[in-house]
A and B are shown apart, each in its own frame.
Chain A
């Protein structure tokens, strides 16, 4: 392909067609299904595409027509053959790819004169039933919400509780629904255990505080052991029986009648993916599955990094596939009001002669979710440090190793030095004492980094 710089298109990255036809096909499928909006904010999925018409967004019929129009192949437009050949050889195939560009950009990219580019764009715009530019701005925002409405929605959304109070408190109530959560950690630290536990906990009846849903488990590494899940389920049932025993209301006992080992196991849908193609295909077909099984409240992808980390010479293709996958999962979480969890591996990053563990698959992938990072057991500190030297980077890790539920959560607290004049040290010392108290009471691990001017508490 040409060496000119292409503007980012709907396919992301550059226009080099990869040698893998199946992945390209999957990319197209994902784009059509989930409107892959790589370069727009991932959280905003236009409601128009989901089919619910509202006053601010066009009706489904208009959407369908537009869909068809945008996907029309360039060959069907009345363009001159020379221009058409140049467009195809530059990699444009459908109308929508053209419409994102200005005439000058198009002429530069394809190698045609500016007048020809202008004429081409006019022909294409004429053929479309709706004015795309106007529609594009509406479709991006979709259904409009005010910030207050969003806040209220966030407060009322459910959480998947884990019955480990430390974990639930850290996560603000549990694993949040309608959001994606990433669990990353060193090997052997308990990611799969946590996933298996959550697959059981999502089924806890509502009177006990759960969401009474079902779970889908997509396994890429083969680490799902059904006997272990059976142990967890039995333990959960016993725990709930204990709780119900102390309550005198009828509803607790009644809810427990249906809550047994068999029923728990029958509501976990398990799929084993042997390579990335199967994983992508399965995630792609999940929306159909979700329509039939509307009680599913949790999707777990165990080992999302595993099939993507080898055999990928073309990193841009991998990035595109991963972005598409993340988009699909996010859109499913939003539309079906369920929680999506995926587990990620850690990899070593060497930065200024210091090596540290970071989540695999790149920072862009991790940015798609609210993360829960589990680290390996660190060092023990018997007492908090008395003073913090200002302007120095320090990393203080409180450690307490519990078999499964040990985690640190990323939340940032930025105190700009200009806002609070002086007394930085006092504030930090107070914070440290407070956190140390939390650590003692709740067995939490807290990672604090202190930078110049910005105090970030991880």
Chain B
């Protein structure tokens, strides 16, 4: 038979692993055990370590909920050494709607020592944060595809970046495709998702996609849950995009326990909520956080 032609044969048979092997030999399977930390113990506890290395994570929320802030913070966190939750590499930040918030990034870099109290000062001083963040502006879908298919693999293969952040993936797809183009839109979304997935699993790099929300008109909402923001809004781009995701996190500005948190109420900072909508390894849970000058910090 044509077994010789099927060169996958020995590789494929040898590649079956026992789950015990994966569990015990943590070094050999970094995709399962290592995670990209957030730089904040509350977040890391919520996500049991941080972002998984393989797979597309989505961060969805209303505007001014803090999504870009979290994205910026992650692009700094990824540059720390492995023992502090980073990946010792840079990040690609693809902006699709607004100009990249450069001043805010500089402010964050200057105040890293205040945020990351667990890391010694000399380590922080040695890292050149600004050098390793590669910023792309993609105004339309073709530019985004070109960036993801051509430029990102080059940077990833050289090891210069290990995190891809797409700020507002919804912005491009919502304005260019009307109702009648839903099939084309679905095809583009699937291709993009597949390409990102391929990059993520090929280079063991997390991909964070920031998404927007749309309002849902539904008179019978899901009352009585702690995720009551869900009753009024739902992530954009529909089920086609949701099928590509590994994990979905939602941020919102409204915190139900605002009145209980007297410290925040006294200082006037807005308390926001980060909730896990779905993830293969996490229960549905949420935590509160604030956005301050040095970055995003979880609130106990």
Contacts and interface: CB of A to CB of B under 8 A. Distances in A.
Interface of A: 25, 28-29, 32, 186-189, 192-193, 199, 216-217, 221-230, 262, 265-272, 274, 277-278, 281-282, 285, 288-289, 305-306, 309-311, 345-348, 357, 360, 377, 379-380, 403
B193 interface: yes
B17 A271 contact: yes
B240 interface: yes
Given A29-B6, A222-B201, A347-B240, A270 B17 contact: yes
Given A270-B22, A348-B239, 10 more contacts: A32-B1, A187-B248, A216-B16, A223-B246, A225-B281, A227-B281, A228-B280, A285-B12, A289-B16, A306-B243
Given A225-B32, A265-B20, A348-B238, A278 B8 contact: yes
Contacts of B284: 403
Contacts, number: 129
Given A277-B8, A310-B193, A289 B280 contact: no
A223 B55 contact: yes
Contacts of A227: 23, 32-33, 48, 281
B276 to A, nearest CB: 10
24 contacts: A25-B6, A29-B1, A32-B1, A187-B278, A192-B280, A199-B19, A217-B19, A221-B197, A221-B246, A226-B29, A227-B281, A265-B18, A266-B18, A270-B19, A271-B15, A271-B17, A281-B6, A281-B8, A282-B12, A289-B13, A347-B239, A347-B243, A377-B222, A403-B283
B115 interface: no
Contacts of B198: 274
Contact of B280 (A186, A224, A277, A281): A224
Give the size range of B's interface with the partner.
35 or more
Interface string B253-278: 00000000000000000000000011
B199 to A, nearest CB: 12
Given A193-B280, A225-B281, A310-B190, A186 B242 contact: yes
Contact of A288 (B13, B48, B280, B281): B13
A222 B55 contact: yes
Contact of B23 (A32, A265, A285, A311): A265
Contact of A266 (B20, B29, B32, B281): B20
A274 B199 CA distance: 11
A226 B12 contact: no
B231 to A, nearest CB: 11
A228 B238 CA distance: 28
Interface in B1-57: 1-2, 5-6, 8-9, 12-13, 15-23, 29, 31-33, 48, 52, 54-55
A394 to B, nearest CB: 16
Nearest to B246: A223
Given A223-B55, A282-B12, A310-B193, A187 B245 contact: yes
A270 to B, nearest CB: 5
Which 9 residue pairs are nearest across A and B when measured between Cβ atoms? A188-B278, A265-B20, A225-B281, A268-B19, A266-B20, A187-B242, A310-B190, A223-B280, A228-B281
B5 A25 contact: yes
Given A225-B32, A281-B8, A188 B277 contact: yes
Nearest to B52: A225
B194 A380 contact: no
B23 A230 contact: yes
Highest count of chain B CB atoms <10 Å: which of A193, A225, A262, A268: A225
Contacts of B242: 186-188
Interface in B279-300: 280-281, 283-284
A310 B6 contact: no
Contact of A310 (B18, B194, B238, B246): B194
Interface string B176-210: 00000000000100110110011001000000000
B220 interface: yes
Highest count of chain B CB atoms <10 Å: which of A266, A269, A270, A285: A270
Nearest to A284: B6
Contacts of B13: 285, 288-289
